[in-house]
Structure 1
Amino acid sequence: MTDTNFTFRVDEDLKAEFTRAAKANDRPASILLRDFMRDYVNRNREASEYDAWVDAELEQRLREADDPATKWIPHEQVMDEMEALLKERIARAAKRAG
């Protein structure tokens, strides 16, 4: 990988504070700036990859929802089944607790 210069303007006080903080932590300012840039790029890449994954999952779910073979379960039925399951688990836990 070829190195290149990156020049930008920054407030003089901010530059002085940053330089002091870098020296106080025995870190060259240039290395810290490269680390910040690398971290930013990685976070952005991860966010983009996550967004792409979410989009793909959503598209798949929409295709499934549009599929005539998809079996739909009424909300009330799901809630009734979950309530029964919870009651069963609570009863088993109470029985174990004695």
Structure 2
Amino acid sequence: MSEATEVVRVEEELKAAFTKAAKAHDRSASQLLRDFMRDYIRQQEEQADYDAWLRQKVEIGRAAMRDGRVQLGEDVEAAFAQRRVESLRKADKTGL
């Protein structure tokens, strides 16, 4: 694997504190920066995957609305309220 050099400008105090913290964990600043870069790339890939998944779910919902395959929230609430009533009635009959 070929290597490249990246020049990063930071305040001297930040560089010193980072180097000290890295050494305290037996790591070099370069090792930690490579780890940070890999983590950042992974996070961006995960975010892109999530964004694509969310866009797909939104489009599925929009298609359902266009096709009339939706229920109003009030209707869903009413149906589940009725189910709760029926469940409580059954529980009372069985002594639960």
TM-score bin (small chain): 0.7 to 0.9
Query: How many residue pairs align between the two structures?
Result: 96
TM-score (norm 1): 0.79
Matched residue, 1:61: 61
Cα distance change, pair 17–78 in 1 and its aligned pair in 2 (3 A): same
Paired AA for residue 8 in structure 2: F
1:85 aligned partner: 83
C-alpha distance in structure 2 between counterparts of 1:97 and 1:25, whole Å: 62
Runs (5+) with no aligned partner, structure 1? none
1:11 aligns with 2:11: yes
Kindly report the root-mean-square deviation, in angstroms, between the aligned alpha carbons of the 2 structures.
2.4
TM-score normalised over the length of structure 2: 0.80
Q: Which runs of 5+ in 2 are unaligned?
A: none
For the Cα contact (< 8 Å) 2:64–2:70, is it kept in 1? no
Cα distance change of structure 1 residues 74 and 42 upon mapping to structure 2, 3 Å threshold: closer
Indicate the residue corresponding to 1:48 in structure 2: 48
Question: For 1:19, what is the secondary structure of its paired residue?
Answer: helix
